[in-house]
Amino acid sequence: MTAVTIALPKGALLKETVLRLQQLGIDFGAFLESSNRLLRLSDRSGRYEGLLVRAQDVPVYVAYGQAQVGVVGFDVLQEKQLPVAQVADLGFGYCRMSVAVKGDSPYRQVQDLPAHCRVASKFVTCARLYFDELQLPVELISLYGSVELAPLTGMAEAIVDLVSSGRTLRENGLVEIATIYDSTARLIAHPLSYRLGRNGLHPLLQQIQSLSATGSGASRTS
Ligand SMILES: Nc1ncnc2c1ncn2[C@@H]1O[C@H](COP(=O)(O)OP(=O)(O)OP(=O)(O)O)[C@@H](O)[C@H]1O
Ligand SMILES: O=P(O)(O)OC[C@H]1O[C@H](OP(=O)(O)OP(=O)(O)O)[C@H](O)[C@@H]1O
C-alpha cells in the first residue's frame, strides 16, 4: 500500500497536531525535537509519511497533491484560496482575524477609518476582501510579522491581524475595532485523493476527526 502523506504546520499548531496523530499511533514526535532538522519522516508502520512545512505552505502541498492530508488554520485557507477539500474543524488553535488601531486614535469602528488610509497586514487577501465588501477603499501594506508596529510607528492607521489571547495588542496599546472571522485548525485533503479514498484515506480522516471531539483543545497560551 502506498503511504499517505500528511503535511504538518510548523509553529503554533504543530504540537497539538503531533499529539493528536500520536493518539492514532502515527508518531511524528521527532518533528517536536530540537535535536534534529528533519523535514520528512515515515512513521513506524511505514503507512504514513509526514512533511514539516510552513503553515502558509500546507494548503500548497495539499493542493498540488504532494500531501493527501494537511492540518492548517482557517485563516491560512482564507488567505491562500487554494482548491483543497475542507474535511473538518479540529477545534484547537483558536484565534480571530481582527482590525485593530491605536487605543488613543479617534477610530472606534471600521467605518470611522478615513478613505484611502493605510492598513498593514500579513493577510492582505483577507484584508482586501473585507474592505472591498465594506466598499471602504484602503491602501494595503504587506508585512511578514510584528504587524502591530505599523500603527505605532505611524506607517498605517490600522492593522488586520490574528488575535488570540489579546496580549500582543494590549502590550502595544492597540485595540480591536472589528472581528473579520474566527479561526481554528482545519483538517484538509487533496480533492481528488479525497474523492477516490485510496490507501485507507477515509478511515484515517474519520479517526482524526473523531479525535477533535475529545482532544485537549490546546491553543497557544499568553
Ligand atoms: N497567537 C496565536 N494563538 C493561537 N493560534 C495562533 C496564534 N497565532 C496564530 N495562530 C494559528 O496558528 C497558525 C500558525 O501560526 P504561526 O504564528 O505559528 O505561524 P505564522 O507566523 O503565521 O507562519 P510562518 O511562521 O510560517 O510565517 C495560524 O495560521 C493560526 O491559525
Ligand atoms: O493575541 P496574542 O495571543 O498576543 O497573539 C497574537 C499575535 O500572534 C501572532 O503573531 P506571531 O507570534 O505569529 O508573530 P509575528 O508577529 O511574527 O507574526 C499574531 O500575528 C499576533 O501578533
Ligand 1: atom nearest CA of 10 is 18
The finding on whether 75 has its CB within 6 A of some atom of ligand 2 is no
Q: Can you give the residue ranges of every domain in the chain?
A: 4-93+184-214, 95-182
**The two domains 4-93+184-214 and 95-182 share their CATH topology (first three levels equal):** yes
- Residue 88: predicted pLDDT: 96
Q: What's the complex ipTM?
A: 0.95
Residue 212 beta carbon below 6 angstroms from any ligand 2 atom: no
Q: What is the distance in A from the centroid of ligand 1 to the CA of 105?
A: 27
Q: What is the pLDDT of residue 212?
A: 59
Which one of 3.40.10.10, 3.30.70.20, 3.40.190.10, 3.40.640.10 gives the CATH number of domain 4-93+184-214? 3.40.190.10
Instruction: Tell me which of 3.40.190.10, 3.60.15.10, 2.170.150.70, 1.10.1740.10 is the CATH number of domain 95-182.
Output: 3.40.190.10
> Which residue, among 170, 71, 155, has the nearest Cα to 121 in the 3D structure?
155
* Ordered per-residue pLDDT tens for the chain, 222 residues: 799 999 999 999 999 999 999 999 999 999 999 999 999 999 999 999 999 999 999 999 999 999 999 999 999 999 999 999 999 999 999 999 999 999 999 999 999 999 999 999 999 999 999 999 999 999 999 999 999 999 999 999 999 999 999 999 999 999 999 999 999 999 999 999 999 999 999 999 999 999 855 444 444 543
Instruction: Find where cell 500579513 sits.
Output: 122
Pairwise CA distance, residues 222 & 211, whole Å: 25
Residue 211 is predicted with a pLDDT of 86
Closest CA relative to residue 211, chosen from 118, 90, 80: 90
Question: Ligand 1 mean position to 69 CA, how many Å?
Answer: 19
d(CA 7, CA 131): 32
- Distance between CA atoms of 146 and 79, rounded to whole angstroms? 18
**Helix boundaries (H) for the chain:** 14-23, 58-63, 74-80, 124-133, 149-153, 167-171, 191-196, 201-214
Helix (H) or strand (E) holding 188: strand 185-189
Which ligand 2 atom minimizes the distance to the CA of 220? 3
pTM of the model: 0.94
Handedness of CA 16, 18, 21, 22 (dihedral sign): negative
Distance in angstroms (rounded) separating the CA atoms of residues 209 and 169: 33
Please tell me if the CB atom of residue 222 comes closer than 6 angstroms to any atom of ligand 2: yes
Q: Whose CA is nearest to atom 1 of ligand 1?
A: 164
Rounded distance from Cα 8 to ligand 1 centre (Å): 13
The closest alpha carbon to 27, from 50, 11, 59, 7, belongs to 50
Closest atom, ligand 2, to C-alpha of 166: 1
162 lines ligand 2 (CB under 6 A): yes
Q: Which ligand is nearest to the CA of 145?
A: 2
